[in-house]
Each structure stands twice: as C-alpha cells, then as structure tokens.
Structure 1
C-alpha cells in the first residue's frame, strides 16, 4: 500500500493508522519525560500526578487540531504563514521550533550517557573518562546519520516500525518497575485531585523545582510534537473522510503517552518520595540505585533500558521534526525523503550532540541539565500554538467542532502561562 492510498478497514490497517500518533508519543516520551517524571515524583510524591492527565488532554486537542489542518489544507502552516505574512514570519516559526527541538536533542544525547552509565557495571563506570563517553556518543550520532543518509526512500515507514517497537520496550520496562514499587491506590487517587504543593528552600532549589514541574508539563503537552502532526498526515496521504477515525487514533496514541508518563511518576512517588532527597538524583544510576531495596540488583538495568529506549525512540524523530519544519519555513520541499530535509536533520543531530558534549565535559549535573533544557522548550511553544490556532480558524468554513477550538485556545493559554512563569523563574 502506498502512502497516498486509502487504508482498508481491517484490524491490521487500523493498527497501522496509529503510526502518526505513535511517532508523536515516541518523540514526546523521551528522556525529558522519563527524568522529569522521576524527579518530580521523588520531590512531591503523588501531589502533582494530576498534571499528567491534564497535559495529555491538552495534547490530544492540539494534536487533533494539527491533524485537521494537515488533511483540510493544501498548505502547511509555514507555507500559509509565508503567503499571509511574508517569508521572514515563516522563518520565525521555523526557528522557534528549531530552538525547542535542539534543546530536546541535547537532552536526548545526555540521556544516552545516563543510560550507558546505568547499564555498565559499577566498577567500570569510574574508569570511563568524560572524553571517552563523548566520543562514544559521537560515534552513535555518526551511526544514526549514516543510517539516515543510506536509505533513499521509505524513511517514514521505517520510523513507524522502529518507534512502535521502542514504545513497547518502554512500556514493559517501566510497567515492571511500577509493579515492583507497590504504589498506594489512595495516594494515586489523591494525586489526581488538582493541588499545588509549596515550593520552598533556597532560590536555586526552588527554581529547579518549578522548572521540573514546567518541564513535566511541557514534555507531555509538546506543542512541537503536535505541530509536526500536520506534516505526518500529509506524508501518509490522509484525506478529510478519515478525520473522525483519526481523532480516535490520536486519543489512543496520546493516551498511551500519558499513561506511560503516569507509570513513571507513580513509580518514583512510591519508591523515592520521603526516602531520597531529590538533590541526590544526579544520574540514571543514582535514580535506579535508590530503587534497589525494591527491585534488587536489576534496578539499574531495568531503569536504564527504559531511559535508553526513550532516548533512541525520540532521537531521529526529534531531529526530523526540526529538519522538516525548518526546511518548510525557508521555502524548500518538506517531504521526509527530500535531500534538504535529510541535510537539515543531520544538522540538528550534530548541534544537539555539540551542546550535550559541552555540558558533559564541563561536569554539569546531567539531570539538572535535562530539567532546564526541557523547561526552556516552553518558551518557543506560544508561537507554535498561535500559528496552529490561527491556521485552524482559517479553515472554519469546514464546520470544525467548537470543542476543538476551545481545546486549542485552552492549550494556547496554558503554554503562555508556562512560558511566562518559566522565564520569571529563570530571571529571579
């Protein structure tokens, strides 16, 4: 079946239709979600669990909106912006998303280092110098780039298959961790009631606590991931007749993302809160080692396999998002297999690696780096959300549901508040 053909109504074809939302879930459920859910759960217990399903609901609305735009309009968001406001305005959109994606990519690279530490025997970790670790990371990036450039066609189809497999690995790894932690059902129920725990302590610690909360929200409600949906459904060749089924697909895919983030959060709240000071969570090994009383010697391996799968699953797709949208913003063909997209994707991979390498060689705390990098992505989200809202409104002649408009407006308002609050925390 070609990408432009209409899928048959079979169980297998319906499973295949989840490809776009599985890719969104894979890129969003990267190391940022894994590390932040663990850190916030450790610090606040179950109190902020409600943030995850709320962010998931907003993500569903924004994803459906992007899907609607992708199938109803012949123009991509950047193309439409260029026509109505000029090419420089499209550059602004592309650069905003590129900044967010580069920060995500730097986090992915550092998470690979964290996972590698967790998978190595403790006696060998200390003998691996930062330079050797960075060299290994460079070789991994070169391998990914080689695979990316070797295949001339069929990139999207290969990504779908690989991401589905890695999401399954994460589900098994983190599901086993939650089962071993024996979480409190009453604690989970109480955590689903909206509440705002007090963030106290020294200014620097309070700032990191807030950034962790903002990053937790941003890595579940990723406007960049939703924005990319407009390009994915076009690549798949979907049309307006498939929108209703597409909504169900989005609910299932994003629901799986939120569920796995909640699994991580619940595990950390049950295993670490009140037992471990959040300042001690400096690496994947440190996080996993605190779980050893519950999980035994396999704690580090189970957790690190999940982190590794999360990093790999979002590694290529995350860079591809930046490549596709940036190329579209500058007016070049944005088909996934185009040479321009591949070159831009390689550039994102290399810049993300360079930032991560500098952070690692400087001795920076990798967990804090990921928390700050992920929280900073929300600064670019308001522009992307406004573009999606404006583009959706331009298609109002298609009788789009008022509920969808309300959902996107709510999501846009939330990212503006998060962006302002994050900037305030960084400046004070």
Structure 2
C-alpha cells in the first residue's frame, strides 16, 4: 500500500514576495528616514538665495523700512506652489521635463523652455560673479575683480568633478542651515520693531520702489529655479509613493527657509540702516547690517555669507543652465554631457566678462540683472502650469483646483511685474 501525501501538511514551494507598487501609498516615515529625502528643494533654495536676494533685500529695508516684507511673503507662497508642481513633474516625466514638453506641446515649446532658462541663468551669473568677488575681497582683501576671477575658476573646477550633484546637494543643505542660524540671530540682536515688521505684511507700494519690487519678485519667485526642481527630483529618483514625505521633509522647508532669511534681512536692514536714513549703495554699506552680531565680526560674517551664497548659487545656476539647454538641443538632460559642459562654461564666462566690463556700480548691476529675469519667467511659469495639468502624464499627481488657482495668480503676478518693468525701463 503506497503512502499518501497529505496535501494540507506537505511543504509548498517558496515564492518570491510581490514587488512593491511604486505608486502605492506608504505609512509615514520615521523622522530620520525623512531626513534622507532632504536635498533637491534645498539646492533650488540655495540657488534662489544668492547675492541678488541679499542686495535687493538690504536695499528694500534701508530705503523703505519694513514696507516691502509682504513682497517676500507672497513670492515665497508662489514659489512653493510652483516648486511643488515641478517636483510632481520630476516624478512623472519619463525622461526629463523639457523632453516631455516637446512630446506633449511640440518641439518649439521645448526650445523656448531651454533657451529661456539659459537666458535667465546668464542674468544670474552676473550677480553671482559680482557678489562672490566683493564678498571675498572683504574677507581677504585685494581687488574684487581678482576674486571674481578666482571664484569663477573654482566653480568651473567643481563642475568638472564626477557625481558633482550629490556633493553640491550636501554642501548646499549645510550652507542653508548655517545661514538660517546666522540670519535669525542677527534679527533678534538688532531688536527691530516687530509690530511694524508684521504690518509690513500688508501690501503697499511706496513711490519709486517699482524696479526694486520687481527685483525682489524676480529673486524670490524664481521660476527658473522651480523649473530645475524637476531635474533634481529625477536625479534623486523620487517615486510617487514618496511625494507626501518629500513635501514635508524637503519641498516646504527648502523653499520657506530662503523666504524667511530674505524677510529677516529686510527687517534687520530696516532696524539698523533705516533708523539712520542711510541707503545701502555699496557692499561695505550692506555689511553694516550685520554689525549687531559683534562689530567687525558681524561684517566679516556677512562677507562670508555673501561669498557662500554667491558661490553656491553660481554652482547651481551654471549647472542648471547647461543641463536644460543641452536637453532642449536634444543632447541629453545630464550635466555631464559635452554640450552641457560647454554651455556651463559659457554661462560662467558671461558672468565674469560682464563683471569685468561694468565695474562702476556693482550693487545697481545686480539689481538690474536680477530684475531682467522677470521678462522670461512668464513663459516658464505657463509651461509648468500646463504640463502639471496633463492628465495623460500626471495621473493622480495632476494639479488640484486650488493649485491651479494659486498657479494662475502667480502667473498673472509675474506677467504684471514684467509689464511694469518694461514700461519703467522704457520711460
């Protein structure tokens, strides 16, 4: 009589566990695991918070007191919404944002996006070169032009390294954290009128402040930086299941931190310079804002902060411009492609050449250069808004109605400031 195998107790063949669905919602991550998601938005924030922000914020506080704090608050909200759109686009686009724009809206639209970002990065390169040279000259002495040359060469060497994105990302997260501590400290030491600062959140446009307001919008509501977030997100290979955690750990703090720092610079400038009626027309004058930190030490810390902001912004700015123009030309969306490296070098060379040619009034040069970026921003803003509403591309990450409302307000605001800037410059 043969033995009968009991099917209920017989061992069953091992089966591999089912692969997790990348779009399946996950439980909230522990705090330490959320820290691992920090990165792309801080890169964008560090790019956004460069010499242009520092210069225009100090001028706003010293010339108009606390009146223009509202510009930073509104710009930060709009920047946050557009950065969030770009994060979702970075998750959903199969290859890159500009490549997806070509596929969904036509090749000309992709060309406009790439060339538009390239033009904006050219304008930012001027402020970065000027700011880095002036900041380093205050720390070490010597001519600012010489330090601008050395800083540009240093950035070029950094961008030639392998895996530069991961190195730059870690560096910029640390820089933003350290600058936040310094600016918060300086604000409390300066003892500003916090009631007046709060009242500055009420919109008001002082006479003669149009160009400065446009510059503040251009440096804080930085569409080109928001656009680049999609590339940073893809670099980190973010998934739809991580979207909520990324928003909490990276997007919100990475964009809000530069906004708070910019507002604090205005507040400190209003408290220190506004009380005496001075206007910050030179970098030395700007350094006085940070003297409450400890006399000459405060000025030194400001110079180091200016240099660090300029250097980090220069790295991200040149990399982004080279990467996205290379993508628009069909040469690949990687910063390591030959085309991207050539374009990156051209951006750095433009900033340095412009700095060498126009040395008479560097602070005004930074303000004008940054405000000109607003002329290209409406095109990029429209592309982000349209692409984040493409159902076939975005799926469940498509814009919600409230995001479209805020996005439309941002687009109207950037168009209005562009028109105002054009009429101001032509008058």
Q: Per-residue displacement from partner, 1:355-406 (whole Å, max 9, x unpaired)? A: 122122xx2x111111111111100100100111111121365353212222
Which ranges of structure 1 fall in alignment gaps of 5 or more residues?
200-205
Q: Per-residue displacement from partner, 1:209-234 (whole Å, max 9, x unpaired)? A: 32111111221110111000111111
Within 5 A, what are the aligned runs for 1:174-213? 174-197=183-206, 199=207, 206=208, 209-213=209-213
Q: Per-residue displacement from partner, 1:37-91 (whole Å, max 9, x unpaired)? A: 1100111111111111111111110001111111122153322333355434322
Distance 1:62 1:386 in 2: 10
Tell me which residue corresponds to 1:325.
Answer: 324
Structure of higher CA gyration radius: 2
Tell me which residue corresponds to 1:226.
Answer: 226
Q: Per-residue displacement from partner, 1:253-274 (whole Å, max 9, x unpaired)? A: 1111111111111111111114
SS in 1 for 2:389: helix
Contact in 2 for aligned 1:62/1:226 (Cα 8 Å):
yes
CA change 1:73–1:146 in 2 (3 A) is closer
Within 5 A, what are the aligned runs for 1:22-101? 22-101=42-121
2:163 corresponds to 1:143 = no
Distance 2:327 2:294 in 1: 47
Within 5 A, what are the aligned runs for 1:84-123? 84-120=104-140
Within 5 A, what are the aligned runs for 1:29-428? 29-120=49-140, 128=142, 133-149=144-160, 151-152=161-162, 154-197=163-206, 199=207, 206=208, 209-248=209-248, 249-278=250-279, 281-289=280-288, 292=291, 295-360=294-359, 363=360, 365-395=361-391, 397-398=395-396, 399-428=398-427
Contact in 1 for aligned 2:42/2:172 (Cα 8 Å):
yes
Contact in 1 for aligned 2:189/2:293 (Cα 8 Å):
yes
CA change 1:274–1:138 in 2 (3 A) is same
Distance 1:134 1:268 in 2: 26
Tell me whether 176-185 or 77-86 shows the greater mean CA deviation.
77-86
SS in 1 for 2:385: helix
Distance 1:98 1:114 in 2: 25
Distance 1:148 1:393 in 2: 34
Contact in 1 for aligned 2:186/2:292 (Cα 8 Å):
no
Distance 2:137 2:144 in 1: 9
Distance 1:290 1:264 in 2: 8
Distance 1:64 1:261 in 2: 20
Contact in 2 for aligned 1:223/1:384 (Cα 8 Å):
yes
TM-score (normalizing by structure 2): 0.87
Distance 1:16 1:353 in 2: 36
Contact in 1 for aligned 2:34/2:245 (Cα 8 Å):
no
CA change 1:276–1:235 in 2 (3 A) is same
Q: Per-residue displacement from partner, 1:336-369 (whole Å, max 9, x unpaired)? A: 3333323322221122211122122xx2x11111
Distance 1:294 1:406 in 2: 42
Contact in 2 for aligned 1:59/1:222 (Cα 8 Å):
yes
Distance 2:350 2:332 in 1: 22
